[in-house]
Amino acid sequence: MMSIFPSLPPYSVAMGAWERAHTRSQLSKVKHRRNQWQAKAKQRSDHHRSLRQQLARVKAERDQATQDLKETPTRLRQLESQAQAVAMRPKVDVVWLSLHLLLEARMRFRAVCRVLSLLAPELGIKRAPGVQTVINWVIRLSMVRIEAARELRGLPLAQAPFSNGLIWMIDLRLGLGSGKIVAVLAIDAHHHHLLGAAPSLRHVRCLGVSVAESWTGEAIAALLDRLIAQMGRPAAYLKDGGSDRHKATDWLEARGLGSPCIDDIAHAAAGMLTHNDQHHPAFERFWSACGCVSGTLKHTILACLAPPTGRTKARFMHVHRLFSWADRLLKLSPAGGAKDGSILARLRVCFDTLPACKDLIKRFRAAAQGLLECQKILKTQGLSHDTLAQCKPLISEMPSVP
């Protein structure tokens, strides 16, 4: 008899299919749950990352605010000090101050820079000028003054009606390198009558400057000739005793452009001392002794007693300083014995032949002292009958009156 139900698979086959279907269902659930978990974890991580960033920013702002709060008193004090400080000076004031320190205070270029660097905070100078900057400022000022001096005229002189009323001072100086500079300066011939004091830098004007490898009388005369063509003939020339200056004035005199010549008082006094003591038998011994004493005292504990530096040219211009030093040095050695190894004994060893020149030292110092006093009077008040009366007592007390 046949069954009305279709044939069914065996039991084992059915169970296997059911297990496979159940496994697929479980795997699908695991994947679905995993995807959900990943999505939730990503959301939580994004949220936490945002919170961490915000927290870090808040902490940084808090730390910066705390630091600013601590630095506020210091910044307030700085602002108050800046408010009370001198305002920054313009460049014009710095240039003016530098030139006055150089021309009025007679300071050197490096000294001007050091002074301005030291006083820069107090004077309101942002940056002190350098040496070359100050030199450039002086050069520009010199060029302007030289151009302005072309029309310079002094008071007319009754004795020289065709002169420009100025005294021209001629000086030869060493320049940079091998070149030598000739400078021609001018001062009013009535200076002492108008002011009654020695001329200073502000009373002198530069008329011309020229540089050459060497200068002769003809070259100096040619320079003076060009200046005379522009400004007229001077009332007089003031110069030292150099032979080239004498030749220049003689050359102009031969061309009909001559003017009286005035010898510089300092060079004239040095010339008097030269003629009086240059050939003294003890002078060379004294000069040699000064050199030996200088070499012995230097680099020792007695270096402060070393003599002043002597000049190889025109040595009598400042030789009185050397004689004054020798006189004071010999007074430091009183008569009598000295203990071996003492400062006095070591000083006497350095004397060389200096004590043998005592007579020359005293006589020269007395003569130079009188000449220097006369020179000071004449430089300050000028040459006149009144100043001559003041100099006569000083001259009479000199050991070499002639």
**Predicted pLDDT at 114:** 92
Q: What count of Cα atoms within 13 Å lies in the side-chain half-sphere of residue 181?
A: 11
Q: What is the pTM of this model?
A: 0.60
Higher pLDDT, 137 or 344: 137
**Sign of the CA dihedral 224, 225, 227, 228?**
positive
Checking if the pLDDT of 169 tops 80, the result is yes
Checking if the pLDDT of 259 tops 80, the result is yes
69 to each of 79, 81, 302, how far by Cα in Å? 16, 19, 61
CATH topology of domain 152-262: Nucleotidyltransferase; domain 5 (3.30.420)
For 303-310, the CB contacts below 8 A with 24+ separation are: 305/329, 305/332, 305/347
Report the alpha-carbon distance of residue 58 to residue 36 in Å, rounded: 33
**Predicted pLDDT at 314:** 64
Low-confidence winner among 4-13, 31-40, 78-87 (lowest mean pLDDT): 4-13
Residue 83 pLDDT grade (very low, low, confident, very high; cuts 50, 70, 90): low
Report the alpha-carbon distance of residue 402 to residue 400 in Å, rounded: 6
Residue 46 pLDDT grade (very low, low, confident, very high; cuts 50, 70, 90): confident
Checking if the pLDDT of 255 tops 80, the result is yes
What percent of the chain stands above pLDDT 90? 4
Residue 313 pLDDT grade (very low, low, confident, very high; cuts 50, 70, 90): low
Give the mean pLDDT of 216-232: 89
User: What is the residue extent of each domain of the chain?
Assistant: 91-149, 152-262, 269-396
Residue 5 pLDDT grade (very low, low, confident, very high; cuts 50, 70, 90): very low
Checking if the pLDDT of 182 tops 60, the result is yes
Q: What angle do CA 275, 279, 281 make, to 5 degrees?
A: 145
**Predicted pLDDT at 13:** 62
The tokens describing 246, both together, are 């004498």
Q: Which of 137, 233, 237, 139 is nearest to 184 (CA)?
A: 237
Element (H, E) at 239: strand 236-239
Report the alpha-carbon distance of residue 391 to residue 393 in Å, rounded: 6
The tokens describing 391, both together, are 């100099």
Mean pLDDT of the chain: 80
